Amino acid sequence: MEKLIIQGNKRLNGEITVSGSKNAALPILAATLLTDEPCVIRRVPHLLDTVTMIKLLRSLGKTVEFNKNTVSVDSRGKARYLADYKLVSTMRGSFCVLGPLLAKLHKAKVSLPGGCVIGIRPVDLHLKGLRSMGAKIRIEGGYVEAEAKQLKGRAVYLGGVFGSSVLATANILMAAVLAKGETVIECAACEPEITDLADFLNAMGARIEGQGSPRIRIRGVRNLHGASCTLSPDRIETGTYIILAAATRSPIRIKNAQLSHIMALVDKMSEAGVRVRDDGTALSVHINKNLRSTSITTYPYPGFPTDLQAQFSAFMAMVPGVSIITDKVFPDRFIHIAEINRMGANIRREGYRAIVEGVKKLHGAPVMASDLRASAALIIAGLAAHGQTEISRIYHLDRGYESIDSKLRKIGAKIARVREH
């Protein structure tokens, strides 16, 4: 395994470029299963998760080429309907092949994705939606087995305990485009990634309206053709760099970023004394001399993203005052607290909240990454801390940030990737 060694307390300067959205790439790649014609997706980040999805598409009968962030997908023969455990179990996002496989082949056998370190994430909404459209579903041997001679359009409600589900919305959306009649998804996820997916499906010949709102209307068509698209910027990567700039007091410019996708973060950064401006070519981050603590509560989009909660917590750990971090999307997503506390932070968990008492400075220490976004939080803490920080188990990081250590070195970070002995 590899680890990162960071020499902290160094001001960064320069431009950093945001990659295409990972969370848009995965369902859009899955959507290529709905057609036998060629599809091209541009600005695809080279990540463990996108590579896993490409392997899954190949196992399902697709020819896939991945060259310089462009993925070309075509059919090479008879499609297969079995999504194997070895691939699906490594990445929850791959479960979104269920909808398109069922719609196109009328049957699907997809491994259950299982739990995850940030908490249990059931697939009940996926199955509820598909059953309402006429699918016969059973769970056996760790697989979801689904059949439907013809899916039928229905009104589907996808509200869950913690709000709408992005992955369930994607699955039902892809199933509905080839269903008979009209499907209306109520309490649909409003994330930009769902808008990207719907726009790609429309380019393939689907008839979708309302994407980006809680009600999406889909009129089924007989078949879809090939299409191409360019992924929007990764909003979580964008937010991570904004928080990094503030935490290290660095005048970083962030290129290929879309400000409208991260307004909840921008609002909270403003409360803390950090201004984010879009000059038309890049985002610039301006940090006041006296920062202020501020509290956040995570919500589904357009609320504050749970995927930025750990990074924001690391920032608040170095800001004077007390802030309360509440996560109502994944209440168990606080594993990073113990590791940041090893660096001198003063954070305590109380149920689905974390109480952060800001300290003057953090100190480098050996820490361990527990998940993807915790990895980014530890990098932020390490770059702002005094002394050396070693972050182990960084394979999590490579699931969601394309070449982040290389990007950071270009703006002056002292960060090295080495093999652990």
> Annotated active-site positions, please?
116
Contacts of 281 (CB under 8 A, 6+ apart): 255
Query: Are 174 and 241 members of one domain?
Result: no
Query: Are 190 and 242 members of one domain?
Result: no
Query: Are 179 and 296 members of one domain?
Result: no
Query: Are 376 and 243 members of one domain?
Result: yes
Single residue among 168, 196, 230 that ends a domain in this structure: 230
3-state SS assignment for residue 382: helix
Query: Are 243 and 171 members of one domain?
Result: no
Query: Are 237 and 226 members of one domain?
Result: no
The counts of H helices and E strands in the chain are: 13, 26
Query: Are 72 and 9 members of one domain?
Result: no
Distance CA 193, CA 231 (A): 9
- Residue 342 in this model has a pLDDT that exceeds 50: yes
Query: Are 109 and 252 members of one domain?
Result: no
Give the pTM: 0.96
Query: Are 346 and 391 members of one domain?
Result: yes
Domain that residue 267 falls in: 2-18+233-419
Single residue among 201, 230, 259 that ends a domain in this structure: 230
Query: Are 249 and 323 members of one domain?
Result: yes
Give me the CATH number covering residue 273. Answer: 3.65.10.10
Q: Which helix (H) or strand (E) holds 147?
A: strand 143-147
The 10s digit of each residue's pLDDT in 2-22 is: 999 999 999 999 999 999 999
Per-residue pLDDT, 115: 47
- What is the mean predicted confidence (pLDDT) over 152-179? 93
Per-residue pLDDT, 376: 97
Query: Are 274 and 300 members of one domain?
Result: yes
> pLDDT confidence of 197, banded at 50, 70, 90?
very high
**How many domains does the chain divide into?**
2
Alpha helices by DSSP H, listed for 300-371, are 309-316, 336-341
Query: Are 283 and 393 members of one domain?
Result: yes
Residue with tokens 């790439």: 25
Single residue among 173, 196, 230 that ends a domain in this structure: 230
Omega within 30 of 0 (cis) for the link into 122: no
